Amino acid sequence: MQKQSPLPKWYFDIFNRYRERLQQKEALYLALSAGVDSNTLLHWLYTFREELPPIYTIHVNHNWHDNYSHLWANFARQRAEFYGFTHYHYEAFFDLEEMSGLEAAGREMRYIKFAETMQPNSLLCVAHHRSDQAETLIQRLLRSSGTRGLGAMRDFNTVRFGAYDIDLFRPFLSISKKTLYETAIALNLPWLEDYTNHEADDMERNIIRNDLFKRMETSFPQYEEAFYQVTQFMQEADDLLLELAMLDLEKIAQKKEIETDRAEGDLERVAPQLHLPSLKKLSLARQKNLLQAWIRPYNLIFSQRQLTEFIRVFLDGAPTHQTRFELDPYVILYFQDYLYLEEKSEVLSSFKSFQLTPSSNAPSRHFWQQFSADDLLLVKRQGGERFHPLYRERSQQLKKLLQEAKIPVWERDNCWLLKERKSGEILWINHLGFAKSLESEIEGEGLAPALIPAVSNAN
């Protein structure tokens, strides 16, 4: 049997770089394939397993390449079991006649399976390396990306697929593909080649990898290292721009938090409202920087064309309450000097029913138990209604109350009233709370209505 070489120095350099952060996690999950990249990462994790949280492996078989798919899947399982790691295997099937969007669909399916498997406070380890980083940088350049895009992949970042936020860890971004091959050979690590990575097809990454980079390597053999340094400079620049944007946001943004319909009463993440007159006082460069940072938490980004149009409409022009700016699946709206970022589904939502959830300063459970399911009626505002809120001394037209509360126009259209069916009395309104008539029933901890959408907004 071939004698195994000593562990390479870069193994320890990489581990020491990330050790402290990894040890704060409850678990590590490796997206394992049959290739040399993830199998070297598998061995790297195994090497330092005594100083790491529990390690698990996951493989999703897309069944795209007939027997090869099963060969790769079985190999991944065998390697995980060889190292004594718990392995999760999933089968996925797609309509191969519909090739359009197949890669994206496969990626989403794969990451959703990862997320469903992972426990809280864990990381998904992926084997992207310096060669992958160079390809990503070229792709972003060809798409005219800005500072954020030219930072390419980060060693730690969060991605969103479906309803899941997944924390990624890429320890090998500073390591070349060539080094991974050399290490695997020296350590006698087995792997299987994925022949699809070398096909001369029209996939963008394969064109860059198998044509452009092969030519570049002849004249510029250090191009990968140079590209990697560029991504690090861009990440630092992006961090500084984001820090500046946060300072600007603190000055001109009005935070808005609303309770969700969930029983645990967590606060839903809602974009702060931007004070438009204050935004206009910033330089153009800081306006652009702040706007990109404002929408960034929602996986949105303005293209150059969109940003130019936005500035024309909202900063150079005179927006009205009817002005809308589309950023699918969101929309930017204007109301009384403020800009709002709202999900389209929320702006246009409708509700079929409600449920009672624990809430502070609400009627007691005993109060609600006097009503049967048919005694209460949920209806949408029609116009002309009067309401006596808990916090006022007299009733007033609902339209006036909504205006006084500075409820944006589009939210007034989603005004829902909970009535007692027999008397027609309004007990509660989603934007205004409980009626004055319920004052004696209010307790420190009670139950409040939470609206249930007619059509789920979940992805």
Q: How many CB atoms neighbour CB 291 within 10 A?
A: 23
Which of 346, 376, 404 is a domain's end point?
346
Q: For 103-135, how does the pLDDT look when each residue is reduced to its tens digit (9 = 90+)?
A: 778 888 899 999 999 999 999 999 999 999 999
What pLDDT is recorded for position 4?
A: 61
Pairing of strands 27-31, 55-61: parallel
Q: Is residue 107 part of a domain?
A: yes
What pLDDT is recorded for position 103?
A: 75
Tokens representing 420 are: 């007692």
Task: Residue 313: give its domain's CATH number.
Answer: 1.20.59
Q: Which H or E run contains 442?
A: strand 442-453
Domain co-membership, 419 together with 308:
no
What pLDDT is recorded for position 141?
A: 93
Q: Which of the four pLDDT bands, split at 50, 70 and 90, describes residue 410?
A: confident
The tally of domains found in the chain comes to 3
| Cα 61 → chain centroid | 24
Domain co-membership, 15 together with 119:
yes
With a cut of 50, say whether residue 58 has pLDDT above it: yes
Which of 307, 323, 346 is a domain's end point?
346
φ, ψ of residue 418 to 5 degrees: the values are: -100, 115
In the chain, the percentage of residues whose pLDDT exceeds 90 is: 67
Domain co-membership, 78 together with 167:
yes
Range of the domain at 376: 349-453
Task: Residue 138: give its domain's CATH number.
Answer: 3.40.50.620
Supply the pTM of this predicted model. 0.75
**CA within 13 Å, CB half, 19:** 12
Work out the mean pLDDT of the chain and round it to a whole number: 88
pLDDT: is 175 or 408 the higher one?
A: 175
What pLDDT is recorded for position 346?
A: 66
